[in-house]
Amino acid sequence: GAKTDGRGRYRFFSTELLASAEEKRALEEDLRDALIRDQMRLVYQPIVQCHSGRITGVEALMRWDHPDKGSISPAVFIPIAEEAGLVGRLGDWALRQACEDAAKWPEHVRVAVNVSPTQFGDGTLPTTIVSALATSGLPADRLELEITEGVFLGDTAASEHMFATLKKIGVRLALDDFGTGYSSLGYLRSAPFDKIKIDQTFVREATLPGSRNSAIIAAIVALAEALGMDTTAEGIEYLDQLALIRRLGVSHVQGWVYSKALTSDELRARLDDGRWAIEPSGPSMQRSA
Ligand code: C2E
Ligand code: MG
Ligand code: MG
Ligand code: MG
C-alpha cells in the first residue's frame, strides 16, 4: 500500500542521498524488481487550454513507491534507470498503462507520455506503441510523446527515421523542456513536432522586473505559431505567472496553479463531473514573498 496520494504529497527521497555510490547501487537493485513488485504507478497532471480553461490533455508522470524510502522522484530514478538499462522496460510499462487509463477518459482528453532518449533510440518503440494502442483501443492521435533534445544527440538518420515512423502511426509529438538545452532551431526544422513545451526554469523568472524571458517566450510563441505548433508553459505556480503567460499568447498551461498530478481515478472523477474547465487555485497560490 502506498503511503502517498496523487496530489503531490510525497515524501521525496532526496538527491543528496545519491552522493553514495553504494546507495545508488542499492536503488538500482530495487528498481530492477519495482515493476514486478507493483511499486510503480502513474499520476496525471492536467494541461489546460488558455482561451477555454478546459483540460485538453494530461501528462503522465511516473512515481515509484519504495517500501522503505517512500515516494522517489523520477528526477532521481529515471537517470539511474537509464544507466542500468532499465528505462526501456519502465518506459514500455508507462506507455501501456497510460493508454489503458486514457481509454477510460472522455475522448477529447489526450495523454502525454515522456519518452527517454534511450527508449527513443531503441528500435522497439513503434512496436510497443502500436501494441499499447491496439490493446487499449486508444486512438493514436490521443497519445502524445514528450521528447527532449537529447534524442538529437545520437544518430541523426536513425532519429529522422523514427520520427517518420511515429508520424505514420499517428501519435503526436511534443518537444519537452524547450529553452534549457541547446534549443537548436534545426530541431524544429527537421522534426515534426505538434507542440513545444516551454521549460519551467525559463518561465520562473519571467515575471521579475527587467527579465528578458518575456521577450524570448513571445518569440517562441511566434515561431511555434508560424510552424503550426501549440505551446505549453510548464510549471506555472502563481497567478502572476499565469497572467503573463496568457498575455504572451502561450496556448496551454500546466502547473500547480491549476492542479498537481492526480491519480487516474481522481482525474476521471473530475472529468466525469462535466467540469471540463478548471479555475486557477486562487489566493492560496498567490506569491507570498
Ligand atoms: P517533465 O517531463 O518536464 O515533467 C514536468 C515536471 O514538472 C514534473 O516533475 C511535474 O511534477 C513538475 N511540475 C508540474 N507543475 C509544476 C509546478 O507548478 N511547479 C513545480 N515546481 N513543478 C511542477 P516530476 O513528476 O518530478 O518529473 C520529473 C521529470 O522526470 C519529468 O520532467 C520527466 O523528464 C521525467 N519523467 C517523469 N515521468 C517519466 C516517465 O514516465 N518516463 C520518462 N522517461 N521520464 C519521466
Ligand atoms: Mg514531460
Ligand atoms: Mg518538461
Ligand atoms: Mg522539465
How many A from CA of 244 to the centre of ligand 1? 22
Nearest CA to ligand 1 atom 16: 235
CB 133 within 8 A of CB 140: yes
Q: What rounded mean pLDDT belongs to the chain? A: 88
Among residues 229, 211, 209, the alpha carbon closest in space to that of 220 is found at 229
CB 224 within 8 A of CB 231: yes
Task: Report residue 95's pLDDT band, with 50, 70 and 90 as the boundaries.
Answer: very high
pLDDT of 132 > 80? The answer is yes
How many A from CA of 30 to the centre of ligand 3? 26
**Which atom of ligand 1 is the closest one to the Cα of 146?**
2
Rounded to 5°, angle at Cα 39 from 200 and 97 = 70
* pLDDT tens digits for range 15-58: 555 557 888 899 999 999 999 999 999 999 999 999 988 999 99
By the 10 Å C-beta count (0-12 exposed, 13-18 middle, 19+ buried), 182 is classed as exposed
How many A from CA of 125 to the centre of ligand 3? 20
Nearest CA to ligand 1 atom 6: 235
Q: Which of 76, 114, 176 most suits a substitution to test ligand 1, by most atoms within 8 Å of the C-beta?
A: 114
CB 11 within 8 A of CB 3: yes
d(Cα 146, Cα 115) in Å, to the nearest integer?
6
Nearest CA to ligand 1 atom 37: 61
Measured CA to CA in angstroms, residue 43 lies from 50, 59, 267 at distances of 22, 8, 9
Look up the ipTM and state it: 0.97
How many A from CA of 176 to the centre of ligand 4? 7
Report the pocket of ligand 1 as residue ranges, CB < 6 Å.
45, 61-62, 73-75, 78, 91, 94, 114, 116, 146, 176-177, 200, 234-237, 254-256, 261
- pTM here is 0.91
pLDDT of 94 > 50? The answer is yes
Nearest CA to ligand 1 atom 21: 235
* pLDDT tens digits for range 156-208: 888 899 999 999 999 999 999 998 877 678 788 878 899 999 999 888 888 88
Take residue 197 and report the three cell numbers written for it.
513545451
